Amino acid sequence: MASLISYQDILGRKKAAHLLRRMTFGATKQEVDAFAQYTPQQAVAKLLKDPNLEFPPPKDTATGQNWVNPAPSDANSGNETLMHQVKCWWLDQMLNAPLSAKEKMSFFMHTHFTTIESRMKYAPALYYQVKLFSYYALGNFKTIAKKICLDHAMLRHLDGNLNEVGKPNENFAREFLELYSIGKGDQIGPTDYTNYTEDDIIAASKIFSGYKEDKDFSSLDIETGLAQVIIQTNDEGLAGRHDASVKQFSHAFDNQQIAPAELMNGKATLEAVLDELDQFVEMIFEKEATALHICRKLYRFFMYYDITDEVEQNVIKPLAVELKASNYELIPVLTSLFTSQHFYDLDNQAKEDNNTGGIIKSPLDLMAGTFRFFKIDMPSQNTDLSLFYETYDKGILKILNDQGLDFYEPYEVAGYAAYHQAPAYHRNWISTNYLARRYEFSRLLIEGIKNEDEQLLYKLDIVAYIDDTSNITDPTNPELLVRELVDYLLPEEITEERFQYFRKTILLDDLSDINWRKEWEKYKSSGDDSAVKIQLESLIHTIIQSPEYQLS
């Protein structure tokens, strides 16, 4: 029986690794070992504690300075370049931030409130959206749902800037209901999607009417200090383009009405417009369906894509109750989920190991997890700025794209298929092409990625990694060496046969243990690593190019 009853014993290596793979972008062997000593409650509390580490804003190669205060000038690089830099800057945080759930939750926010870079026009819009995700990553989901309505990137993305009284544009209203908040339910009538109707979309588009972008990005939200959109004003300082009429919602929302609290000359005041937004989001989040929708999204992101009736009853529903009871604070439900017996496969005698290893890693999880585990050296924006951007561009963004994650440019408004497209969900990460590209990643990693000037951007020096006793206790012992890799790199125990394939067939090339010891000793005495290097690289290729390594 799936159950949220908490698990309270010391985690141990396997469960700690499982927790860290899911809640973070990856941990080192040393971090896994440290977390293995904690109970789930201790571990999860540590991961959910905001590190409060402010990453400095991205610097522009053209000026060597950041441009976010408040907006770029003519001296800065072009807009496309700046947007690109923001993405690289965010990836740097995912790869290098201290171990925490914050970056993973920020990415969750992006997969939920997905916008498309090429539709948003301004680099600051992208920057402030990423900051917003980060700000609320471990915060309140209802609050970020309000803030996203006033987000520049979102306004552009779904044509909110064109939505005016008399000239409604339904794009944002529809997706807000369908994707971002209450979610679409079964269609039970011509225009009735259970949770809302087509008329609700029209009414909601009136709520959102009359916003416009603040091209200076100087209008800041008091709470977050981040730039947000403004309300279009007329000569009298009123919301001139806002639909001031009474918005009538359907039976799905108990026929509620929302209207401006204050009208002057038939126009709403700015406060009244914002108050309508507040009332509207409150009305939606008052519905149980909203909490259920968010919990299902969290479950599919962190646990497994297939939500059975049993999981719906015993996991999703109680989580949704908790989410609503906490007024949509995320930490309580994340704590419940990640400390539950369900998460650690202890609620199901018949099928242990149901959830461990049951998620297909996103390309980002695959790459970030590998980089973090092997502690791959990457340039920082404080050392060589252009090399930094080049490395993240050529070495990360492009490879993510090849593997099916076109970062901030998903094909459709609903976002990346893995997070919404039934029936396959995360299986969408695996197609004939994408799978081959994922396997190809190990070659790039081991051969190293270079720029056009043959300058090395990054590379996994596997001999150096193995030749470090804090990673591998005794490199002369092939049994231990392979054990200490697969135990940490693969999500599940493997069969003895499989283990011997990695050890004997690949690492030893069917030769003896003694031979390996001699080769290693030869390397240590002569410094010539050519023989051990070939075998170790072959081992890493085989592990990364295994179906098991694709799983989390």
Partner 1 sequence: MKRRSFLKNISAASGGLMLNGLPLSVMARSGEMQRLAASADNERVLVIIQMHGGNDGLNTVIPINQYSQYYNIRPNIAIPDHGKRRFVTLDSTLTEEQQTGIHPDMIGVKELYDQGKVGIVQAVSYENLNGSHFRSRDIWFMGGNYDEYLGSGWMGRYLDHLYPGYPDAYPTADMPDPLGLEIGNNVSLAFHRANGIPTAVSVNNPKQFYDLINSVGGEPPESVADTHYGHELQWIMDIEKKSNQYAGRLKEVFEKGSNSATVQYPETYPYNAPKNSLRNGLAPQLRMIARLLSGGCKTKIFLARIGGFDTHASQVESYDSTMGVHAALLYHLSESVKAFQNDLKGLGLEDRVLTMTMSEFGRRAASNGSWGTDHGTAAPTLIFGNHVKPGITGKNPDLYDLDRNNLRMQHDYRQVYGAIVQDWFEASPEAIQKTRFEDFVYNDKKLSLIGNPVLGIEDLFIASRFYLKPCSPNPATLYTKVNYRVNVQCTVELKLMNQEGKLISALVKAVKSPGEHQLEMDVRGLQKGIYHITLEAGGFRDSTKLIVV
Site for partner 1 in 428-457 (CB under 8 A): 428, 430-437, 439-440, 442-443
Q: Which is nearer to partner 1, 187 or 473 (CB)?
A: 187
Distance from C-alpha of 11 to C-alpha of 42, rounded to nearest angstrom = 10
First-last CA distance in the chain: 22
Cβ at position 224, least distance to partner 1 in Å = 28
Phi, psi of 19 (to 5 degrees): -60, -45
Instruction: Give residues with Cβ within 8 angstroms of 84, minimum separation 6.
Output: 389, 393, 397
Q: Which is nearer to partner 1, 335 or 546 (CB)?
A: 546
Residue type, 263: L
Of 229-237, 263-271, 426-434, 473-481, which part binds partner 1 (CB under 8 A)?
Answer: 426-434
Of 3-11, 134-142, 311-319, 415-423, which part binds partner 1 (CB under 8 A)?
Answer: 415-423
- The interface mask with partner 1, positions 472-491, x = CB under 8 A, is -------------------x
220 bridge partner residues: 227
Distance from C-alpha of 334 to C-alpha of 295, rounded to nearest angstrom = 10
- Segment 203-232, which members bind partner 1 (CB under 8 A)? none
- Segment 334-353, which members bind partner 1 (CB under 8 A)? 351-353
| Selected binder of partner 1 within 64, 190, 225, 527 (CB under 8 A) | 190
The yes or no reply on residue 308 touching partner 1 (CB under 8 A) is no
Q: Which is nearer to partner 1, 387 or 435 (CB)?
A: 435
Q: What share of the chain is helix, strand, coil (3-state, %, to 5)?
A: 50, 5, 40
Cβ at position 544, least distance to partner 1 in Å = 9
The yes or no reply on residue 309 touching partner 1 (CB under 8 A) is no
- Segment 392-411, which members bind partner 1 (CB under 8 A)? 404, 411
Structure-block tokens of residue 454: 């043959």
The yes or no reply on residue 413 touching partner 1 (CB under 8 A) is yes
Distance from C-alpha of 264 to C-alpha of 431, rounded to nearest angstrom = 58
Distance from C-alpha of 263 to C-alpha of 261, rounded to nearest angstrom = 7
DSSP 25: S
Cβ at position 359, least distance to partner 1 in Å = 7
The yes or no reply on residue 304 touching partner 1 (CB under 8 A) is yes
- Cα angle, residue 465 at apex, residues 460 and 466 outer, rounded to 5°: 130
How many separate helices (H) and strands (E) can be counted in the chain? 25, 8
Q: Which is nearer to partner 1, 50 or 548 (CB)?
A: 548
Distance from C-alpha of 362 to C-alpha of 375, rounded to nearest angstrom = 19
| Selected binder of partner 1 within 75, 98, 159, 254 (CB under 8 A) | 159
- The interface mask with partner 1, positions 72-111, x = CB under 8 A, is ----------------------------------------
The yes or no reply on residue 420 touching partner 1 (CB under 8 A) is yes
The yes or no reply on residue 497 touching partner 1 (CB under 8 A) is yes
Q: Which is nearer to partner 1, 330 or 551 (CB)?
A: 551
The yes or no reply on residue 55 touching partner 1 (CB under 8 A) is no
Question: 64 — alpha (psi -120 to 50), left (phi > 0) or beta?
Answer: left
The yes or no reply on residue 500 touching partner 1 (CB under 8 A) is no
Cβ at position 491, least distance to partner 1 in Å = 7
Distance from C-alpha of 264 to C-alpha of 241, rounded to nearest angstrom = 13
- Segment 506-535, which members bind partner 1 (CB under 8 A)? 506
Distance from C-alpha of 227 to C-alpha of 390, rounded to nearest angstrom = 28
| Selected binder of partner 1 within 28, 63, 146, 198 (CB under 8 A) | 198
- Segment 243-282, which members bind partner 1 (CB under 8 A)? none
Of 63-71, 90-98, 323-331, 424-432, which part binds partner 1 (CB under 8 A)?
Answer: 424-432
Is 206 strand, coil or helix? helix
Comparing C-alpha atoms, which of 514, 418, 433 is closest to residue 111?
Answer: 418
Residue where the block lists tokens 């905001």:
50
In terms of Cβ atoms closer than 10 Å to its own Cβ (0-12, 13-18, 19+), residue 218 is: exposed
The yes or no reply on residue 186 touching partner 1 (CB under 8 A) is yes
Cβ at position 313, least distance to partner 1 in Å = 18
Q: Which is nearer to partner 1, 108 or 416 (CB)?
A: 416
* Chain centroid to CA 417: 14
Q: Are 287 and 195 in contact (CB under 8 A)?
A: yes
